[in-house]
Structure 1
Amino acid sequence: MQDLSGLGSDVEPWMRWWRTYLRGGIANVGKSEFPVRIVDLFCGCGGFSLGAAEAARALGLLPVFEAAVDIDAAGLQVYSRNLQPVRTINRDVGTLIGYSVHRLARGEIPDRSSLLDPGLRSLAGRVDLLLAGPPCEGHSNLNNKTRRRDPRNTLVLDAVAVAIALEASTVVIENVPGARADERRVVQSAEEALKSAGYRVLSRVLDASDYAVAQTRRRLFIMASRLSEPCERMLAGLVKSPPPDVRWAIEDLEDAGESPLDIPTRHSAENERRIAYLFETHSYDLPDDLRPPCHRGGHTYPSVYGRLSWDKPAGTITTGFTSMGRGRFVHPSRPRTLTPHEAARLQGFPDSFRFVWEGDRVPARSQLAKWIGDAVPPPLAYAVVLTVLKTLLTR
């Protein structure tokens, strides 16, 4: 365990614990004979499930990952290495259920016979918690081409259809706040479908920086339970102020190590000059005349090409954290962008999480960036899942 003596008396106990956990401390331990059976759709490498597992253990429950579903085979192997699911399903979620999302949007509710995968069908009626983090690129404000009408936006309805057909006791779905503005009202349809199937639904936009995550990352969560109302009081009780800053999360990683996770990205000569300018002038924002020509006539991206501050939370960690041209990703005190290790810490992944798979095969940097940047931050998942797992304890 790490020494907590330097964290200060004003830091809440659970936040102190999570910082220790980030640096390799001991997680919630203890055996339980009360399993909580979990299915994770669009699971990626497992950030959502990792936070859910810690929430279950904190409540004295034993997390059992019955199924993890994703189209990324390598991501599923990383998930398996860390969370040991009973089964992995390397398929598009939409192919798991013979049900049109348009029928769901019209109020027609699927049943377990709609499940096309035999492994999932065998779980119907036995799933305590279904997690889903459908790809959010179609809803993102950075998507200037198909935003609000992207075909991927209906994936949230695929997740809801699977959850209802599985008769999952509790459901948590995550996406960007912009999902509510979709032209087809996919979020509103998802909420209405869950209510029609007998769930009590609570939807909230939360900022990860309020939940021991050193970044400002606003996300929409749809929480649903067939047992009782999701416990919103637990969310209010876990909010922390002020939010953790970059120093809190990555100060001990200032100097790059030898692990592939700790090796900085090499930049073009032009970007090297831009990074050098930030440090030579003690600046945190790059002036327009040093930006690409497309930015010089005015832009709305002040954080792009920017440098992080030690004493503030990072902005949203995206899949572009290795490039200064895709966000404020230049290190506060070193002339480089964030390493995968630092980005993982800022997302709330502990050092004990292994971003490798069978045979310790090291993933490509692009894979690391996708898994880390797309993940639901585990501490945020922890807080949200507590609100629905609490309903299981009433059963």
Structure 2
Amino acid sequence: MENYYFESNRVIRELRVGERVWRSGIENRARQEQDGYSAWWQSFLRGAPVFVEDCNATSEPIRVVDAFCGCGGLTLGAAQAAIAVGRRIEAVAAIDVDDGGLEVHKANFGTKHVLHTSASSLVDFHVSGTGVDSKFAYEPEVTDPALASEVGKIDLFLAGPPCQGHSNLNNRTRREDPRNLLYLTAVALAVGLKAKMVVIENVPEVVNDRSDVVTAAKALLRANGYDFLDSGVLAAHEMGWAQTRKRYFLVASRRGGSPDQLTLKSVAAGLKREAHSLGWAIGDLIRDIEDPVPTGVMDTVPALSEENRARIGYLFKHDVYELPNQERPDCHKDGHTYPSVYGRMYWSKPAQTITTGFLTPGRGRYIHPARPRVITPREAARIQAFPDSFRFVVNGHDPARNALTKWIGDAVPPVLGYAAVLPLLATR
């Protein structure tokens, strides 16, 4: 499906679906000789701009609404998928309760409508029945005036409703969290907007929700004219990425399938590659001792406690990657459920899933493989597939660290968004 090759100082990506072929390019910023795919995405991480190579590409933008948007990881993935098929996106609206995340979204995509509110407040709907018998009691109505002015004009609706209620890390309300029903709010908003295409993402465990929100969502979409419907888990590391992260995607389209319709499974198969290592993603960010001391919130980490300095020091002194039982705090001793905590990362392996706790050694394997510290926000962003050109700024200034960890850790890696949106755009 994809072919990468070098042309002068650029890397060219050729996407082929049936009889159609699209070409896009990127300035080659890879630091060492490697295959075209690796050079492309490494150049992307280092901030090289991606451009449409086909001069006959349409200039009509794909108009996008992103609900529960955070800082815009899913929008960034959609933008890359659009470029791959000779298009561009127009960010019509971003919706979230996090005003800082919305500022980041606008800074990067020039978002037209920035709606700092709960998505539930923007649409009037009621679902009757459950599971396969679910249906809207009446047609969902968009209630916000700005968003209502866009009804019938939206090409792609994106949503990443809160996933904490589904996550295996949530030991209290797993599968029964009321936030899980926001999954159906996303469907109602998409239907109310009359969006042509829909992409909803969540953790893989969403399919185990006791309210059966995924089955209900599929029933609601089918009943409202979405005649192409597909779902499945996409794994970043199975598509060559340097992080073992999985997400569940539900994609739908009003225009149905074509003879060469891509599916999530076929896209995953077409993009399948051996995972890159952590060193591939962030190795160039190590500074020599004579380099200037880094400043700014993206390139620094908070001060560690004396106890955590000692734990990290033990790892480096003994050149080990797992903290032995006797060096752990009491709450993490003797067969703790999460053995990777206080762990040192491996240069030669992909990173574990990046979460909002990446600045804390006791919340995962986040200790840098070559420096006695946790990874920086910039390193975490790279691992999450955010390029250096992505601006994590609020009103032109650095945000607080706790905001950064939330945006980066909660984001959908753009490489996964790219794969999920591609079957909708490449067969239209």
| TM-score range relative to shorter protein | over 0.9
Residue of structure 2 in register with 1:76 after alignment: 102
Q: Secondary structure at the match of 1:53?
A: helix
Contact 2:297 2:400 survives alignment (8 Å)? no
- Check if 1:158 corresponds to 2:213: no
Q: Secondary structure at the match of 2:248?
A: strand
Alpha-carbon separation, structure 2, partners of 1:101 and 1:304: 42
Contact 1:65 1:83 survives alignment (8 Å)? yes
Alpha-carbon separation, structure 2, partners of 1:113 and 1:217: 34
Cα 1:257–1:225 shift into 2, 3 Å: same
Write out aligned runs for 1:62-141 (5 A). 62-101=88-127, 106-109=133-136, 114-141=141-168
Alpha-carbon separation, structure 1, partners of 2:214 and 2:253: 17
Contact 2:125 2:140 survives alignment (8 Å)? no
Between 167-176 and 15-24, the greater mean CA deviation after superposition? 15-24
Structure 2 residue corresponding to 1:227, chosen from 244, 248, 255: 255
Contact 1:171 1:225 survives alignment (8 Å)? yes
- Check if 1:206 corresponds to 2:238: no
Residue of structure 2 in register with 1:244 after alignment: 276
**What amino acid does structure 2 have at the position aligned with 1:390?**
A
Contact 1:355 1:368 survives alignment (8 Å)? yes
Write out aligned runs for 1:365-384 (5 A). 365-384=401-420
Cα 1:112–1:188 shift into 2, 3 Å: closer
Residue of structure 1 in register with 2:44 after alignment: 21
Name the % identity.
48
Runs (5+) with no aligned partner, structure 2:
1-26, 288-292
Spell out, residue by residue over 1:186-245, the C-alpha distance to the aligned partner (whole angstroms, 9 max, x if none): 1111122112222221111111112343100011011111112361233321121x1111
**What amino acid does structure 1 have at the position aligned with 2:244?**
T
RMSD value, Cα: 1.8
Give the CA deviation at 1:125: 1.4
Alpha-carbon separation, structure 1, partners of 2:88 and 2:150: 17
Cα 1:326–1:221 shift into 2, 3 Å: same
Contact 2:69 2:94 survives alignment (8 Å)? yes
Q: Secondary structure at the match of 2:136?
A: coil
Alpha-carbon separation, structure 2, partners of 1:41 and 1:119: 14
Give the CA deviation at 1:290: 1.4
Residue of structure 2 in register with 1:143 after alignment: 170
Structure with more of its chain in strand, by fraction: 2
Structure 1 residue corresponding to 2:377, chosen from 334, 340, 346: 340
Alpha-carbon separation, structure 2, partners of 1:169 and 1:110: 21
Residue of structure 2 in register with 1:180 after alignment: 207
Contact 2:119 2:186 survives alignment (8 Å)? yes
Contact 1:265 1:339 survives alignment (8 Å)? no
Alpha-carbon separation, structure 1, partners of 2:97 and 2:127: 19
Alpha-carbon separation, structure 2, partners of 1:379 and 1:175: 15
Q: Secondary structure at the match of 2:217?
A: helix
Cα 1:386–1:243 shift into 2, 3 Å: same
Cα 1:279–1:101 shift into 2, 3 Å: farther
Q: Secondary structure at the match of 1:28?
A: strand
Give the CA deviation at 1:108: 2.4
Contact 1:265 1:336 survives alignment (8 Å)? no
Higher RCO, Cα 8 Å, sep 6+: 1
Give the CA deviation at 1:118: 1.4
Superposition TM-score, scaled by structure 1 size: 0.93
**What amino acid does structure 1 have at the position aligned with 2:214?**
V
Residue of structure 1 in register with 2:306 after alignment: 269
**What amino acid does structure 2 have at the position aligned with 1:382?**
Y
Residue of structure 1 in register with 2:390 after alignment: 353
Residue of structure 2 in register with 1:41 after alignment: 67
Alpha-carbon separation, structure 2, partners of 1:206 and 1:177: 9
Give the CA deviation at 1:257: 2.1
Alpha-carbon separation, structure 2, partners of 1:277 and 1:7: 36
Alpha-carbon separation, structure 2, partners of 1:33 and 1:2: 25
**What amino acid does structure 2 have at the position aligned with 1:209?**
H
Contact 1:28 1:54 survives alignment (8 Å)? no
Alpha-carbon separation, structure 1, partners of 2:388 and 2:205: 32
Give the CA deviation at 1:175: 0.3
Write out aligned runs for 1:297-312 (5 A). 297-312=334-349
Q: Secondary structure at the match of 2:247?
A: strand
Alpha-carbon separation, structure 2, partners of 1:344 and 1:337: 13
Superposition TM-score, scaled by structure 2 size: 0.86
Contact 2:343 2:367 survives alignment (8 Å)? yes
Cα 1:32–1:111 shift into 2, 3 Å: farther
Pairs aligned (count): 387
Give the CA deviation at 1:100: 2.9
Structure with more of its chain in helix, by fraction: 1
